[in-house]
Amino acid sequence: MLAPMFAALALWLLLAAPATCPPDDAALCEQLCDGGSAGSCNNLALMASTGRGAPRDDARAAALYEKACGGGSKVACSNLGLLRAAGRGGPRDEPRARALFATACVSLDGAAPAADGCTNWGAFHQRGKGGLPRDDARATALFRRACAGGAATGCANLGFMLATGRGTPRDDSRAVDLYRRSCDQGSAVGCSNLGSRYDKGDGVPPNALLALELFKKACAAGSATGCSNLGLKYELGQGLDKDLGAALALYRKACDADSPVGCSNLGYLLVTGKAGPPDPAEGRRLLARGCQGGDAWGCARMRE
């Protein structure tokens, strides 16, 4: 199961507002952004931050999100917070990210709040980031607000809190429902967590084939844990042909996305040389990284 995650960069489509460009027309977005359309500036920034529809340029994306946020686009404030939290397009600045998520989530100026901003603000409370103390109750309240506002990742994160009884009474059945709902809405973490349930038969009938499909969907949508889980299936040959090369690649993808389990699994393959030439030094470094990230299995392999 994956702990609460940040919402992905979000589109700001004001379908009723002709002054906002579609998210795939860079030329029109540029024109309307120059004319003061905050939604268009956000969409142009999204293209720059993802490399879809325009050359990838994190610094340009950050500047455009800043402009859009200042112009009243709440979702742009949340998107800028994600860049500041990750150190993309400028120095990492978690306190600034925290303030941006708060701005996105609350409505003090008449603008509708951005549900994904509430998701991200809740994740900071849950993890104790940006100078905030860990506060599961506050995180749960924010995830609940995000989910009610239509944020798929907010629903998945709320499911995690309910499944673990963190900040709220435990409600396993409701957690599974939220994982399913969020996965259907495109949340990678929701699909990954739901896949883990079916893989283990935890609160649902066991279904290895469905679990495998959910891990594939989660990994393709950007879930590091989904990629790590899928890699394990390839490593063990469960539900598909054993392929240690594929497992290695998936673990590396998961580790690059900061999955402690992915780093531990990758490190173990490198230490043992199961998937190719051994690299004990790099393997031990990755096992240590996984252990430091909270993966108990990685810590046990380190002690070995």
In contact, 223 and 192? CB cutoff 8 Å:
yes
Residue 258's pLDDT is: 86
Tell me if 265 sits within 8 A of 291, measured CB to CB: no
Q: What residues have CB less than 8 Å from 58, skipping those under 6 apart?
A: 48, 49, 83, 88, 89, 90
- Give the chain's domains with CATH numbers: 1-99 (1.25.40.10), 135-222 (1.25.40.10), 223-304 (1.25.40.10)
Chain segment 264-281, per-residue pLDDT in tens: 999 999 999 988 899 999
Instruction: Count Cβ atoms below 10 Å from residue 17 Cβ, excluding itself.
Output: 10
Tell me the per-residue pLDDT of 107-134, one tens digit each, with 9 for 90 and over.
766 678 899 999 999 999 999 999 999 9
Reported as a single tens digit per residue, the pLDDT across 187-238 is: 999 999 999 999 999 999 999 999 999 999 999 999 999 999 999 999 999 9
